[in-house]
Structure 1
Amino acid sequence: MCGITGFWNPQRNSERDLRSTLDRMLDVLDHRGPDERGSRLFIDQGLALGHTRLSIIGLDCGHQPISTDDGDYAVTVNGELYNYKRIRTQLACESLECNGKSDSSIALPLYLKYGLAMVEHLRGEFAIVLYDHREQRLILIRDRFGIKPLYYAAGDNGLVWGSEVKSILQHPDVPAKLCPKAAVHQMMQVMVPGSTAFEGVDALQPGHMLVAQLRDGRLEIDTQRWWDFTFPESHDPNPDPAEYVQGVQDRLIDAVATRLEADVPVGCYLSGGIDSCSILGLATTLMQSSVKAFTIAFDSDEYDESNIAKRMAERTGAEQELLRLTEKELYGPAFERATWHAERTFYNTLAVAKWHMSRRVRACNYKAVVTGEGSDELFGGYPFFKRDWLGREGEEAGVFAGAILAEEDQKHAAWQDLCGFTPSWLQPWMLVLQRCSPLLSSDLKDLLNEYDPIAEIADAIDPAAVRGRHRLDISQYTWSKTMLEGQILTWGGDRMDMANSMEARPAFLDHHLAEYATTIPPEVRIRDGVEKWVLREAMVNVLPRELYERKKFAFMAPPAHTDPVKRAAVQEMIDHWLTPERVAEVGFFDHSAVERFIHDAWRETDGTIARRNDILINHMLQLHMLHGQYVEGQPLPAVD
């Protein structure tokens, strides 16, 4: 697990400029790879490749960038390529040697053998940048679900890339400027796939590659999709549930076993949900020894799962590390630092909690954990998936209302045309957009007269992947193409984990398991109203009975409105970041409207509206933090 960055501008070939620029870009990625730093310059071509390394596999033999002996090919890899031993052996049989014994060493030989089709042979979570000097071609590759990040800025001055946007913004050709359209999307939580918070910087989408080809002294850039999370147009009308239960069990065991391989100890994240508990149960059996489990505990019974996590740890004999968090840890300096790492806003302080957890993991001398992300996406685990297929009957919104479920049905023409319905996962964010609109500055209100953010998100979805599909399939697909990558795997995953040099390995997002999950009929994924039924049955002998029978729980941190101490902590941040001067400087909001909104928000008694208010306050605060941190260059505060 590492950080990668670099740039290619054929018009600039000063070694001093190349090296000094690359060093600045690498400096801000030290947290992703504190163990080692490497670079490779192609001076005449104006190309620089940089790498910061977190050593997990091949501790003494994984230096990057990796080059061929003739120097014509070079590659940097961020992530894990799990099938590397088998591939390395196969390549050796064909006299294609790997330069080194780390998992990343298979990338160049695979390219030499298969060209761009090398991606079909990769298993794991990865971002790869490969330069082919003979063909004057640069290739950026991102894994199937976007577990590992990869961003780029392309223009007349060439191409700049990085594992995080902050490294790209260190390049002199990429000014730091927040994008007004992206600000609107962040306020409503849902980004357009492929976009970022910053003007001129894009995200390489999951399952895509970018190819930059040098022709006549200029770069021609093309992106193409090489994999998608695709559901079939029809399912088995008479499914045998037992067959699918066994199929899930076999593939999940293999996925967990694969992700336990490392040259350092591997632990597990453990909440009270069936996903992480399943991972811990399988890991314990596979390792035949005690596993280190890391759990977050909150100071609110309504949001805390730690008691169930504790029982799972006791059942498996895991050594549990319990981290209790209050408002002191969730707001203030840690909130600001998490925002800097996220590079976008987040609606709930779960991101801050995850930052603290990865910090604790490293303090315990662990560099890697296996996690449960992706299970809900594969097996229909979220309540909005059930609503889209089965409706509202028997539904208990509880703490989901206002944040995950809309209390009133919403429709949008673009989504009705695309899907035949407006997915329930999007509807609460449509209500958030409605609530934030009166707070916007006149410039952003004018923007919304011409720009429809809801339609823009719909336009980014491939119609061929949803038309003719089952409603549950459509709901799972559209969520996975937007919120899985843009939220769960960024500020809920990689960015908070790697902030403290810690690698997370989401076993459910193994593509062998994911591709199989798309074939499971809806009535086996959700059976008799029970979400993730097929997974529960596959793990029935792994999970405690109470967890096997438990409904989906909201894994969120307690919002600020839930107690006066948290409100006071948020108000302190408001007093610093949302002053009339700062609000005017950023230009996204009307300060008078914001002031009235916050005054009323602290007096709101309706829980659904109060949760929505908390979301808006978090987003407003963070947009101003991002401006301060990235545009103004304010230093980050220290965290005790």
Structure 2
Amino acid sequence: MCGIAGIFHANPEQKIDPQLLVNMAAIQHHRGPDGFGYKTLDDQGVGFSHARLSIIDLNEERARQPFMSADENLLLAHNGEFYDYKRIRAELTLKGARFRAKSDSEMVLHLYPRLGLEDMLPHLRGEFAFALYDKQHDRLMLIRDRFGVKPLYWTDTGDKIVFGSELKVLFAHPDVPRRFNAKGVFHQLMQTTVPGSTAFDNINQVKPGHVVIIERKHGKFQVTDQKYWDMDFPLQSERLKNDRDDEEYYIEGVRKELLQAVQLRLEADVPVACYLSGGIDSCSTLGMAAASQQSPVKAFTIGFDDADYDETPIATEMAESVGADQDVMLLNAGHLYENFEETLWHTERTIYNTLGVAKMLMSRHVNKAGYKVVVTGEGSDELFGGYPAFRRDMFLHGMDTLSPAERAEWEAILAEANKLFQGAMLAEDEVSDPALNELMGFTPSCLQPWLASAVHVPGLLAADLRQEVEGYAPGQAIAEALDGDMLEGRHPLDKAQYVWIKTMLEGQILTWGGDRVDMANSMEARPPFLDHHLAEYCAQLPPSMRIKGRTEKYVLREAMKGILPTTLYEREKFAFMAPPAHTDPDKWAALKVLSDNYLSDEAIEEAGVLDKDGVRALFELHEAEETTASTQVKLDAVINHMVGVQILHKHFVATDVPALARQKAEEYGWRV
């Protein structure tokens, strides 16, 4: 919906330059090109700014943020959507609340004084990240939605807190250092990051389902990080007592919760479209949306020129079955790398596959077609056990009664079914991490391919960074960032899904596959599967309702059976990702062009992040005759990450970001 930014000084008498706040909004103009606003509290050392994408309440003057409460005690800057807001606004109005706008955002200013922070949060349903300053208690609250659909970063420079929707917003402030962190770079090169971390020194993310509370105490900051929600799977002992044999009970429950989640996300003052791949997830959301409104739904589909990765035929069959108006954008895999550098300006992290580029090009296409909002299918695999890693962990760690022969049979079945995922979503060989084993009893399959990639990382780092991470254990760092209480006593499938949600979902799918590449073109994506009411219901589903025999997402298939094409209902999970570079000569040539530019000896020495000999050795390994196809897939990812680190250095370290922000403010005419 928008982009937010702000400054909170340790000294309340410190004045804030309003134009600096506007510059911080301007550098994220793509998140909110429809208008900007700012507000400073000069007697409090506080200032917020906002870049607006108009979706609910199109009156620019009335709905301009930041919002100030009527008593001038609260200052709010909000990004995202609160659903079911009309009902809540009506109830608050009956209790005497007076709203100045028709916006969903404003209800925070009425809920917080009446309920307090802790009791307000359960009423907030949707995808959001917002900053709320409470003048009476002199505290800043940074709040992020339960799954991390919307981003929110912050840093403490010592005398001020700076926050924003994107890293570049923080870097637009001249007092925020732009330095890589050695461990952060390590994780960029191996793909999986530590929850809450970034590639840069002292730059933090608000974790999903968390509130960061910052209070001033005698000229210093007191920072508290509080969790207000988590994906709480039942204990196995509870499952034995409470799981029901009645499949229809669970099927009907999923159908009911998903329908409500979709219908809520169709609420907007602008047209709402759907993303449509050939998977169960987006087909389900399209089917629900089509059933919920009279006019045909607009459906946008990405097609690839590689039959192994293209889902257009099934997507078209689905669109025709519900009478949707389908728009197919066919992408040439060889051209994706032409937009790689621009994509990383928006993702602000490395990407292992050009799906993020494809999604950015799709959002541009949707924007040009006149749409600002789409409903998407992200989150379904996380709730219903859709990824091959989940099936592998369930059968290898959740069925202790399997005989060695039965276990070998399942290993063979999984290996055959998941050939397309090998090296990218599944490790070629078993990887066992001691810290993760101790935490959850096994190393989750979703992390294994990236832990396997980690062995290459030290040799790729420049000498000074390599020295800083000597002896570093990435698996241990990830394990320490997870909440062990949410893993203890749970079924292996629950454990695997929980770890994915905390790492792969938030750090990748919702970042470079979601918000960042959608909002790059001022386009808001709404994932109904990540509605927390639906998620809480799905946490109670017995493992056998999620994965039944060879069928993943069993309960969703059954719940959506009436609207899914037969071919889709019967098909196994398909890999929705762009083809790996080495599988296509044109794409590999395009990657080599980028590599020649960013991974030359001169470029590496200038940035000082990578080691030229290590980079050269990795390319030699990739092209060696004895290197298997699965290993090449893994090394494709590492090469993408190496190029990505160099691009990040160019964008955010070598570039004078404060000057760029000033330039953009001038370009857009955003002046105080």
Query: TM class, shorter-chain normalised?
Result: over 0.9
Q: Which whole-Å CA distance do the structure 2 matches of 1:239 and 1:155 have between them?
A: 56
CA deviation vs aligned residue, 1:492-531 (integer Å, no higher than 9, x gap) = 1000000000000000000110000000000111112210
The letter of the residue matching 2:313 is N
| 2:377 pairs with 1:358 | no
Q: Classify 1:328/1:403 alpha carbon distance in 2 versus 1 (closer, same or farther; 3 Å).
A: closer
Return the match for 1:617 from 618, 639, 654.
Answer: 639
Q: Which residue of 2 aligns with 1:59?
A: 58
Distance in 2 between residues matched to 1:257 and 1:81, nearest whole Å: 13
Matched with 2:344 is 339
Deviation at 1:138, TM superposition (A): 1.2
Structure 1 Cα separation of the partners of residues 203 and 458 of structure 2: 25
What is the one-letter code of the residue matched to 2:355? L
1:380 alignment partner in structure 2: 385
What CA deviation, in whole Å up to 9, does each residue of 1:294-341 have, x standing for no partner? 111111111111111111111111111111111453112x11010110
User: What is the letter of the counterpart of residue 443 of structure 2?
Assistant: T
1:105 matched to 2:106? The reply is: yes
Question: Is the contact made by 2:152 and 2:205 (CA closer than 8 Å) also made in structure 1?
Answer: yes
Match of 1:586 in 2: 607
Gaps in structure 1 of 5+ consecutive residues:
none
CA–CA distance in structure 1, aligned partners of residues 423 and 464 of structure 2: 27
Deviation of residue 100 (structure 1)? 1.4
Matched, 1:454 2:479: no
Q: d(CA) in 2 for partners of 1:634 and 1:560?
A: 32
Using the TM superposition, name which of 581-590 and 253-262 deviates more.
581-590
For the pair 1:310 / 2:310, whether they are aligned, the reply is no
Residues 1:259 and 2:269 aligned together: no
Secondary structure of 1:450's aligned partner = coil
Letter in structure 1 aligned against 2:360: W
Q: 1:237 to 1:84 in 2, by over 3 A?
A: closer
The 1-side partners of 2:129 and 2:110 are apart by: 17
Tell me, yes or no, if structure 1 residue 245 matches structure 2 residue 251: yes
Q: Which residue of 2 aligns with 1:428?
A: 449
1:226 is aligned, of 228, 231, 235, to 228
Displacement of 1:458 in angstroms is 0.5
Deviation digits for residues 56-112 of structure 1 (CA, Å, limit 9, x no counterpart): 011114211111223221111100001111111111111122331111110110011
1:435-450 matches, within 5 Å, as 435-450=456-471
SS at match of 2:105: helix
Kindly provide the amino acid, as one letter, of the partner of residue 215 in structure 2: Q
Offset at residue 19 of structure 1 (A):
1.2
Q: 2:13 & 2:596 partners in 1: Cα distance?
A: 48
- Pairing partner for 1:606 from 628, 632, 640: 628
CA contact (8 A) 1:239 1:521 kept: no
Residue 132 of structure 1, CA deviation: 1.2
Letter in 1 for 2:310: D
Task: Give the match for residue 156 of structure 1.
Answer: 158
Kept in 2, the 8 Å contact 1:12–1:46? The answer is yes
Deviates more, 1:267-276 or 1:3-12: 3-12
Q: Does the 8 Å CA contact 1:628/1:634 hold for their aligned counterparts?
A: no
1:297 maps onto 2:296 in alignment: no
**Counterpart-to-counterpart distance in 1, 2:439 and 2:306:** 40
* Aligned: 1:631 with 2:653: yes
Measured in 2, the distance between the counterparts of 1:569 and 1:618 equals 12
> Is the Cα–Cα contact under 8 Å of residues 285 and 376 in structure 2 kept in the other structure?
yes
**Equivalent residue of 1:114, what SS?**
helix
Sort the Cα spacing of 1:375 and 1:42 in 2 relative to 1 into closer, same or farther, 3 A. same
> 1:137 aligned to 2:146?
no
Relative to structure 1, the CA distance from residue 372 to residue 140 in structure 2 (aligned partners, 3 Å threshold; closer, same or farther) is same
Name the structure 1 match of 2:572: 551
Could you tell me whether the CA contact under 8 Å between 2:428 and 2:631 is conserved in 1?
no
Say whether the 8 Å CA contact 1:56–1:367 is kept in structure 2: yes
Which TM-score applies when normalising by structure 2? 0.92
**For residues 306 and 221 of structure 1, what CA distance do their matches in structure 2 show?**
49
Residue in 1 aligned with 2:33?
A: 34
Which ranges in structure 2 are unaligned for 5 or more consecutive residues? 397-410, 661-672
Give, in whole Å, the separation in 2 of the partners of 1:407 and 1:572. Answer: 28
- Which one of the candidate residues 386, 394, 397 is aligned to 2:413? 394
Distance 1:80 1:21, change over 3 A: same
Q: Distance in 2 between matches of 1:230 and 1:27?
A: 39
Q: Which residue matches 2:329?
A: 323
After superposing the two structures, state which structure 1 stretch, 342-351 or 554-563, moved more. Answer: 554-563
CA distance 1:211–1:14, shift in 2 (3 Å): closer
Corresponding residue number in structure 2 for 1:215 = 217
Amino acid paired to 2:63: G
8 A Cα contact 1:151 1:203, kept in partner: yes
Q: Could you tell me how far apart the structure 1 residues matched to 2:247 and 2:468 are?
A: 50
Counterpart residue type for residue 314 of structure 2: I
- Deviation, structure 1 residue 13: 4.8
Partner of 1:45: 44
How far apart, in 1, do the equivalents of 2:428 and 2:644 lie? 26
* Displacement of 1:220: 1.6
2:153 and 2:206 in contact (8 A); partners too: yes
**What is the CA-CA distance between 1:45 and the residue it aligns to?**
1.8
Give the Cα–Cα distance (whole angstroms) in 2 for the partners of residues 19 and 268 of structure 1.
38
TM-fit CA distance, 1:557: 0.4
Structure 1 length as normaliser, TM-score?
A: 0.97
Which residue of 1 is the match for residue 376 of structure 2? Answer: 371
2:84 matched residue in structure 1: 83
* Between 592-601 and 508-517, the greater mean CA deviation after superposition: 592-601
Letter in 2 for 1:621: V
CA contact (8 A) 1:84 1:103 kept: yes
Residues 261-306 of structure 1: CA deviation (Å, up to 9, x unaligned):
1000000000010000001111111012211111111111111111
1:420 deviation in Å?
0.6
CA distance in 2, matches of 1:8, 1:445: 35
Contact 1:298–1:324 at 8 Å: present in 2 too? yes
* Paired position in structure 1 for 2:508: 487
* Aligned residue type for 1:21: L
TM superposition shift of 1:180: 1.3
Contact kept in structure 2, 1:561 and 1:602, CA below 8 Å: no
559-568 or 542-551: bigger deviation: 559-568
3-state SS, counterpart of residue 152 of structure 1: strand
Answer yes or no: is the 8 Å Cα contact 1:567–1:602 preserved in 2: no
Determine if contact 1:335/1:349 at 8 Å carries over to the other structure: yes
Partner of 2:402: none
- Return 116-125 or 507-516, whichever deviates more: 116-125
- The answer to whether structure 1 residue 284 and structure 2 residue 283 are counterparts is no
Q: Deviations over 1:375-414 (max 9, x none)?
A: 0000100000010011324112212000000121111110
Q: Deviation per CA, 1:583-635, whole angstroms, max 9, x where unpaired? A: 12333322123123224424556220111111011000010000011111189
Is it true that 1:412 corresponds to 2:433 in the alignment? yes
Count of matched residue pairs: 634
Name the counterpart of 1:184.
Answer: 186
C-alpha distance in structure 1 between counterparts of 2:250 and 2:68, whole Å: 44
Distance 2:183 2:570 in 1: 43
Between 431-440 and 169-178, the greater mean CA deviation after superposition: 431-440
Alpha-carbon distance in 2 for matches of 1:44, 1:254? 45
In 1, the alpha carbon distance for the partners of 2:614 and 2:209 equals: 42
What is the letter of the counterpart of residue 190 of structure 2? M
**Aligned residues of 1:66 and 1:99 also touching (Cα < 8 A):** no
Please give the secondary structure, in 2, of the residue aligned with 1:159: strand
What SS does the aligned partner of 1:211 have?
A: strand
Letter in 2 for 1:7: I
Q: Percent identity?
A: 49
Question: Which shows bigger deviation, 364-373 or 60-69?
Answer: 60-69
Q: Greater CA deviation, 448-457 or 138-147?
A: 448-457
